[in-house]
Chain A
Amino acid sequence: MNEALVVIVRVIIAFFSLLIFTRLLGKQEVGQLTFFDYINGITIGSIAGTLATDLSSKAWAHWIGLTGFAILTGLLQFITIKNRYLGKVLDGEPTVVIENGKILEDNLRKMRIKLGEFMMLLRDKDIFDITEVEYAIFEVNGRLSVLKKGEHLPVTRSDLQISSMPTGLATEVVQEGVVFKQNLSQRKKDMFWLKQQLQAQGIEDVQDVLYALILPNDRLYVDKYDDSIGDKSDIGDYEGPF
């Protein structure tokens, strides 16, 4: 038996199975995971690891385990989307822990959070004076959301009635000398426009461009390979090599 070869084949199976299953399960962000999602993810990863390297048992048994967890996760996702009540039961609900500046200690107790921990979470949100808080809510992913009282909220442009420029998304049009024509046409531009813009910035060849974006205000941001930067920005304090 060639153990290395068997591990290589099993790694390929585990790696691509995991990749396919996670793509099928969607794009839930790590920061948005509930405690259960987090543990479930660790379990799935652990099964995939065992599938790759535990030669004392059949790969099939581990793969079935991995598939089972993926199917059940997908099923739960489907149920929580389709049925609001079951969604609440399975995912939990956000819990209000401060209302009108008053700590709701019963809710804190239900969440099994100590007052000390709670104060730490508030400080983590840059709140050192609890009287500034109108509402504090524990989200299902374990994070604390805080709404400050009106008098402690920062002033915005609309408060001061200052007009603001429209915002939008920047569009990548050149990356490492390659032009993305599809992105150009999305912004209703063409190669002629791009060449004109580059020439205006003293660039004759698109191959000299590392990265270019069309900004929301239709201006072109260009970063060349040649940065023309001296030694001043080198903040290293050791000669190296390392």
Chain B
Amino acid sequence: MKKFMLYVVPSAMLFLFVVVMNSGSMLKKPYGQDDRVYEAVKQLETHVKEERWEHAEKDIQYIERAWKKVVNRIQFSVEKDNMEEISQTISHMKGQVYIRDDQAIFEHIYYYYDLWDRLAK
């Protein structure tokens, strides 16, 4: 039994470490109604195109909250810089929603899509 544990415990630990370090791509996916970051940005894009700014404001508030939730899950497996870049892009989008700048916001929405694709890859 002792010998069995001698091999099982280190192997299980290494396996757990590998899972934790590679969990980002799974954990960035939504698991509820309040962590759908990507879908919310898509919706924001639609609302900005249709110039429905009140809806866009609600979208960006939801995105901020949802992103914080996702960050808590993925922080162990992704680069800090990548997460910070997404946070900054969301802040840019927020400002642009409040000043109704539909040209600049598209730049940041598409930049966000690229960052999201690269997240945990």
Given that A16-B13, A20-B13 are known contacts, is A58 also in contact with B20, CB under 8 Å in the complex?
no
Q: Verify B83–A59 contact, CB threshold 8 A.
A: no
Q: Which of A2, A5, A13, A23 contacts B17 (CB 8 A)?
A: A13
Given that A6-B76, A9-B76 are known contacts, is A58 also in contact with B17, CB under 8 Å in the complex?
no
A60 and B77 CA atoms in complex are apart in Å by 7
Q: Which of A1-48 contact B (CB under 8 A)?
A: 1-3, 5-6, 9-10, 13, 16-17, 20, 23
Q: Which of A3, A17, A20, A60 contacts B22 (CB 8 A)?
A: A60
| Chain B residues in 8 Å Cβ range of A6 | 75-76, 80
Jot down 10 A-B pairs with beta carbons below 8 A, ordered by A: A1-B75, A1-B84, A9-B20, A16-B17, A17-B17, A20-B10, A20-B14, A56-B81, A58-B79, A59-B77
> Is B78 part of the contact surface with A, judged by Cβ < 8 Å?
yes
Q: How far is the CB of B2 from chain A (nearest CB, A)?
A: 13
> Is B71 part of the contact surface with A, judged by Cβ < 8 Å?
yes
A38 and B20 CA atoms in complex are apart in Å by 31
Mask of A55-66 contacts with B, CB within 8 angstroms, 1/0: 111111001000
> Is B21 part of the contact surface with A, judged by Cβ < 8 Å?
yes
| Chain B residues in 8 Å Cβ range of A5 | 75
Name A24's closest neighbour in chain B (CB-CB).
B10
| Chain A residues in 8 Å Cβ range of B75 | 1-2, 5-6
Residues of B participating in the A interface, judged by any CB pair closer than 8 Å? 10, 13-14, 17-18, 20-22, 71-72, 75-81, 83-84
A151 and B21 CA atoms in complex are apart in Å by 65
Q: Which of A13, A17, A55 contacts B79 (CB 8 A)?
A: A55
Given contacts A23-B10, A59-B77, 6 further A-B contacts (CB under 8 A): A13-B20, A16-B13, A20-B10, A55-B80, A57-B79, A58-B78
Q: Verify A1–B71 contact, CB threshold 8 A.
A: yes
Interface centre among B13, B18, B21, B78 (most CB of A within 10 A): B21
Name B120's closest neighbour in chain A (CB-CB).
A58
Q: Verify B80–A17 contact, CB threshold 8 A.
A: no
A66 and B46 CA atoms in complex are apart in Å by 46
Q: Which of A52-79 contact B (CB under 8 A)?
A: 55-60, 63
Name A59's closest neighbour in chain B (CB-CB).
B21
| Chain B residues in 8 Å Cβ range of A9 | 20, 76
Q: How far is the CB of B44 from chain A (nearest CB, A)?
A: 23
Q: Verify B14–A17 contact, CB threshold 8 A.
A: yes
A63 and B16 CA atoms in complex are apart in Å by 13
Q: Verify A63–B21 contact, CB threshold 8 A.
A: yes
| Chain B residues in 8 Å Cβ range of A10 | 76
Q: Which of A2, A13, A23, A56 contacts B21 (CB 8 A)?
A: A13
